[in-house]
Amino acid sequence: MATLELFNTLSGKIDTLEPVGAPELRMYCCGPTVYDYGHIGNFRTFLHVDVLRRFVHQLGIPTKHVMNVTDVDDKIIRNAAAAGLPIAEYTAKFEKAFFEDLTALNIELPEHISHATKSIPEMVSLIQQLAEKDIAYQAEDGSWYFRIARDPDYGKLSKKDLENITDGARVDLDEYEKDAARDFALWKAVKPPVNGIPEPSWDTALGIGRPGWHIECSAMATKFLGQSFDLHAGGEDLMFPHHENEIAQSECASGTTFARHWMHVRFLLVEGRKMSKSEGNFYTLRDLLLKGYRASAIRFLLLSVPYRNQMNFTIDGLTESTNAVDRLRTFHKRLLTGTFPEGLDPTIAAATVKAEQDYTAALASDLNTAEARAAIFDLVRAANAAADRCTLLAGNVAEILRVLALFDGVFAVLEDRDAALTRVALAWAEREGRLDEASPELLATLALTDADIDALVAERTQAKKTRNFARADAIRNDLLAKGILIEDGKDGVRWKRK
């Protein structure tokens, strides 16, 4: 059985990741702040956490995985007020969209999903523990702050030089400069209404107010996982100050290690530039689906570069990813529907064993998704060549299908759900008045059901048999114009959506 070795941001080196003190791996992943639709950078993090979770399960280790939903913070309050809505009504739309996007990208749900607004008592209790130790203090306006100067270990995660922290210089916004290192807000006193909408608040022993962003994750993590657990994951943008502050407040309160292992997924670039709306390269999953790209290809592309490497997301790369997924699916279908002589070819058998070993070794070595993919495509090439020579045997096919299932247990792209998911995206676009953003090719493609395509392919086959080649060519060309590619092979006629 392989052992998972994973880079630990806290130790600065590759460490063994394994459960301590429980049979399951206890892990916490920072979830969405539901003030807008998630973008592909957000989902790169969730996808690599999904790979971790799925591979841990393949190693025979269960998980106790917690993800938060931040449903109260400065951005939410500001945007909800601008929209003239209470925050619960405002966030419900984006929370629903987030989980729809997880489903589209085939991301498994964690065992526990925790909303910040449902854990206020735990946050208050944690702040009270810090106040008893004189680490939390109350300002004149009633807000509570964490006194960073009282924590000698502050900065141990991000490795920042924080010697010149000014005690009492407070930061009371959730959105602030990433290099800020001053006393941070734990609890924010209630403020006057905006646009006639009162700020969300809770009447507690700390006073009337609401939690700061950082305290939310500490309280929710320890609520489900205990004061010390195995792994904390998130995007690299959260390392400082969010994760640094989580460690500080949690460990100062408990006196024990908060999370033993920290996993951070790197940013992505889009076409070589930082993703931003002003650059015109900002993509949500829904933007890409409306342009005619497939959810499976987006998943496969976002997993093509290991999590610790910066990724450059390009449209050309997305096209290549679409072709790669098609190649896997075509190969898989060939194995399932082809007829193969009995027996076992030793050369292909050896290639299959090597592919499985290389796949497992790659993921066990810091989740190297690039090498894991390469191992399987090496096998696809070898097996396709053998099938073309009519030397692929039934015993080989059974073993290759088993290895493909292992691979797909993590990468999850073999099942073709793309057309159905795109139709869901189109229905959403119609409700939101964004149907004009859908590409004409996409609309033409989805106008044809699978049954329609099967009927046209059958008509083309019959036309060829009766030597009506003009009609056969017309059907092929018409389908191609609508994004349907027909392939004539030794095993019969296949079609696929481009």
Q: State how many domains the chain has.
A: 3
Task: Clarify whether residues 436 and 287 are in a common domain.
Answer: no
Task: Clarify whether residues 208 and 328 are in a common domain.
Answer: no
Task: Clarify whether residues 333 and 473 are in a common domain.
Answer: no
Local confidence pLDDT in tens for the 498 residues of the chain: 789 999 999 999 999 999 999 999 999 999 999 999 999 999 999 999 999 999 999 999 999 999 999 999 999 999 999 999 999 999 999 999 999 999 999 999 999 999 999 999 999 999 999 999 999 999 999 999 999 999 999 999 999 877 666 655 666 666 555 555 689 999 999 998 877 888 999 999 999 999 999 999 999 999 999 999 999 999 999 999 999 999 999 999 999 999 999 999 999 999 999 988 888 889 999 999 999 999 999 999 999 999 999 999 999 999 999 999 999 999 999 999 999 999 999 999 999 999 999 999 999 999 999 999 999 999 999 999 999 999 999 999 999 999 999 999 999 999 999 988 888 898 899 899 998 888 887 777 767 777 888 888 888 988 888 988 888 888 888 787 777 888 887 667 888 766
The predicted structure's pLDDT at residue 163: 67
- Full residue range of the structural domain in which residue 138 is found: 5-265
Task: Clarify whether residues 406 and 427 are in a common domain.
Answer: no
Task: Clarify whether residues 63 and 130 are in a common domain.
Answer: yes
Task: Clarify whether residues 279 and 258 are in a common domain.
Answer: no
User: The CATH number of the domain where 173 resides is what?
Assistant: 3.40.50.620
Give this prediction's pTM.
0.90
**Given 411, 435, 470, which residue is the final one in a domain?**
411
User: The CATH number of the domain where 379 resides is what?
Assistant: 1.10.730.10
**Given 411, 438, 469, which residue is the final one in a domain?**
411
Which pairs with CB-CB distance under 8 Å and at least 24 residues apart come from 478-487? 479/448, 479/453, 481/444, 482/441, 482/444, 482/445, 482/447, 482/448, 483/292, 483/441, 483/442, 483/444, 483/445, 484/445, 484/448, 484/453, 486/457, 486/460, 487/330
Task: Clarify whether residues 442 and 403 are in a common domain.
Answer: no
**Given 214, 231, 265, which residue is the final one in a domain?**
265
Task: Clarify whether residues 60 and 24 are in a common domain.
Answer: yes
Task: Clarify whether residues 119 and 157 are in a common domain.
Answer: yes
Task: Clarify whether residues 56 and 179 are in a common domain.
Answer: yes
Residues in CB range of 231: below 8 A, 6 or more apart:
17, 25, 26, 27, 28, 259, 260, 261, 262, 263
Task: Clarify whether residues 103 and 135 are in a common domain.
Answer: yes
Task: Clarify whether residues 285 and 256 are in a common domain.
Answer: no
* Nearest-angstrom CA–CA distance, 365 and 6: 7
Of 64, 63, 185, 211, residue with least CA distance to 124 = 211
